[in-house]
Amino acid sequence: PAEDEARIEEIKRLLEAHNAVLVAHYYTDDAIQQLAEETGGCVADSLEMARFGARHEADTLVVAGVRFMGETAKILSPEKRVLMPTLEATCSLDVGCPAEEFSAFCDAHPDRTVVVYANTSAAVKARADWVVTSSIAVDVIEHLKARGEKILWAPDKHLGGYIQKQTGADMLLWDGACIVHEEFKAKGVEDLKGLYPEAAVLVHPESPASVVELADVAGSTSQLIKAAKELPQDKLIVATDRGIFFKMQQAVPEKTLFEAPTAGNGATCKSCAHCPWMAMNALDNMAAALREGSGEIFVDDALRLAALKPLERMLNFNR
Ligand code: 13P
Ligand code: SF4
């Protein structure tokens, strides 16, 4: 639409005027992902978003994603201004792991190394020994297990259970879940697989174990896009937020992609597997953030320094 075009032009102008760069997650709208690409920004998983933002020489990072991604960017780059289209965009994992309760949980298990998923507040990260994202979690836990460490993991119980299975590590799990991925049902994936037996199944490990068990490949968003390219199958059933289809289809234009159903009845669902908070990022509020400086992320200094340590461990971790 013409209004979108006008907004896109405005954002391009503002990005340049503010020496700003757009860092977007795969789950944001297609128009935002495309804009990030066209303007020299990045479209990535949460680990690469953090890396890209930290390394980039822009004065301002515009983070299109959810709150923890903006906070991580600010923790890694305190000298940069970090703007988000909206500060309301949270994550059920973050919401389900309040810092005080989490801290008490850690206090009750002082013998365990605290590893938290990036999908947490700065205050929760500040209490952790390690931060990980889904693309690096298995490697880090394997490393800690080899050092004989026992793990306290938060907040995603599905991802935690998956890592536990992969590594055999001793992990005590916090009881959190992603409301988007938790909706995938094994029955629905099996029914779809019944219709397309030759299709490969790709699953984000925030999904329930019964769904991950059906996967040919389980991994982070960027790992799933890579797998889409590498797998020999030309039909792919994908269990993650539908935002990923924009880049995945670009990566494999010749393949047929199916959204894994969330209804459990074999019917594909066009609107279910989409994060409501990612969907809050829009061209309008992005333009407003750049124009008015709204949606700026601030992280208290002491908290920032405490959260920086486990984040840097992740970024410096060599597989
Ligand atoms: P990725 O690190 O795989 O991009 O995951 C982030 C996320 O929020 C998935 O729901
Ligand atoms: Fe959080 Fe799930 Fe949304 Fe990712 S998809 S941001 S884990 S609620």
Q: Which ligand is nearest to the CA of 44?
A: 1
- The yes-or-no verdict on residue 264 having pLDDT over 60 is no
- Burial category of 182 from C-beta neighbours within 10 Å (exposed 0-12, middle 13-18, buried 19 and up): middle
Whether the Cβ atoms of residue 5 and residue 12 lie closer than 8 Å to each other: no
Q: By C-alpha distance, which of 161, 125, 163, 123 is closest to 144? A: 163
Evaluate the omega torsion of the peptide bond into residue 276 and state whether it is cis, within 30 degrees of 0. no
| Whole-number pLDDT of residue 261 | 87
- The answer, yes or no, to whether residue 271 has pLDDT greater than 70, is no
Domains of the chain: 2-89+278-298 (3.40.50.10800), 93-178 (3.40.50.10800), 181-259 (3.40.50.10800)
The answer on pLDDT for 269 being more than 60 is no
ipTM over cut 0.90: yes
For residue 198, pLDDT over 60 is answered with yes
To test the pocket of ligand 2, the residue of 241, 242, 262 to mutate (highest count of ligand atoms within 8 Å of its CB) is 241
Q: Is 121 in the pocket of ligand 1 (CB under 6 A)?
A: no
Q: For the chain, what percent of residues have pLDDT higher than 90?
A: 94
Residues 29, 214: Cα–Cα separation, whole Å:
28
pLDDT, position 319: 62
CA pair distance 306, 299, nearest whole angstrom: 11
Question: In angstroms, rounded to a whole number, what is the distance separating the alpha carbons of residues 119 and 206?
Answer: 11
pLDDT tens, position by position, 33-84? 999 999 999 999 999 999 999 999 999 999 999 999 999 999 999 999 999 9
Cβ(259) to ligand 2 under 6 A? no
- 298 burial class (0-12, 13-18, 19+ CB within 10 angstroms)? exposed
Segment 147-174 shows an average pLDDT of 98
Coil, strand or helix at 62: strand
Ligand 1 pocket, 206 CB below 6 A? yes
User: How many Å from the N-terminal Cα to the C-terminal Cα in the chain?
Assistant: 45
Answer whether residue 266 shows pLDDT above 80. no
Q: What is the mean pLDDT of residues 269-290?
A: 89
Choose between 265 and 32: higher pLDDT: 32
Pick the residue whose CA is nearest to atom 4 on ligand 1.
45
Atom of ligand 1 nearest to the CA of 45: 4
Atom 6, ligand 2: which residue's CA is nearest?
Answer: 91
Query: Ligand 1: distance of its center to the CA of 17 in Å?
Result: 30
Quick one: which atom of ligand 2 is closest to the CA of 241?
5
CA distance 173 to 115: 10
